[in-house]
Amino acid sequence: MIKKDQLYEGKAKKVFQTANPELLIVSYKDDATAFNGLKKGTISGKGAINNRMSNLLMQRLQESGIPTHFVAELNARETLVKRVSIVPLEVVIRNIAAGSFSKRYGVEEGRIFPTPTIEFSYKNDALGDPLMAESHATALNLATPAEIECIKSYSFAINDILKAFWLKCGITLVDFKLEFGRLADGSIVLADEISPDTCRLWDTKTGEKLDKDRFRRDLGGAEDAYAEVMNRLTSHI
C-alpha cells in the first residue's frame, strides 16, 4: 500500500492518505506526552511496540465480535486502517482507582471497584478534554443517544475481554481510554490504539507500573516496562 499525503499529526501518531479514499495509514511515533501535552519526551521503541500491540489486541477483539478500524499491519510502525470520522468523545473504563480519578475524588490509588466505571471526556485539546455528561454530548450533537449506548456496550465488553487476557499475562488492567469512529455507513467501530500509552497496567503480583505512568511520574524505566508488557503479550496471544 503506497503512502500518500499526510492528513494529520497527533501526539503519538501520524496519519496518511492512500490511493483508496476509505483506507488510511497510521504511523506510530516514539514521542511521549502527558498532561495534555504540557510534558513532552521520548520513549525509545514505543512506536513499534504500540503498533504491534494494538494490532494484536484489535484482532483479538474482532474475533470476539467487537468491530475495529484495523485492516492490516504494514511494517513495524505502520498499519492500514479503515477511514473513520472520530466521535469526539474519549471513553475511560476504570476497574481500580488511580490517576485523575483518585485526585478528583480523594480516593487512594488501588481501591478496587465493585463494578467497572465509565466516563466520557470531550475530545478537545483547547479545552483540556473536560469531563462530559452523556446528555451534554447529545445536546452538542457529538453523538446520538443510540451511538452512546453502542459505545458503552462495546466499552464494557472490551473491558471484560482485555481484563481476562491481561490477567493471563500476570497484568492487572487498572483503567484504559478508548476512542470510537464512524465508518462511511455510520456504523460505530473501535479506533485509535490499545497500548501502555492508553492503558494503566500493573504487575499482578508486585503492583509495579508497566505503562506511561512511568513517564508521567518520572519513575524511570519506561522503555523496559513497555518491552515487558510486549513480551508477556506475545507469549500469551
Question: How do residues 212-235 score in pLDDT, each as one tens digit?
Answer: 999 999 999 999 999 999 999 999
Q: Which long-range contacts (CB under 8 A, 24 or more apart) does 109-114 make?
A: 110/207
Residue 163: strand, helix, or coil? helix
Domain with CATH 3.30.470.20 in the chain: 86-221
pLDDT-derived band of residue 63, with 50, 70 and 90 as boundaries?
very high
Write the class of the CATH domain 86-221.
alpha beta
C-alpha–C-alpha distance, residues 181 and 143, integer Å: 10
Bridge partners of residue 177, in order along the sequence: 92
User: Over 80: is that where the pLDDT of 36 sits?
Assistant: no
Place of cell 511520574: 217
Q: What's the CA gap between 55 and 194, in Å, rounded?
A: 8
pTM: 0.96
Interacting residues of 170 by C-beta distance below 8 A, sequence separation 6+: 203, 204, 205, 232
The ranges of the chain annotated as CATH 3.30.200.20 are 6-82
Q: How far is CA 188 from the centre of its chain?
A: 16
Query: By the 8 A CB rule, do 92 and 175 touch?
Result: yes
* One CATH from 3.40.50.970, 3.30.200.20, 3.90.1170.30, 3.20.10.10 for 6-82: 3.30.200.20
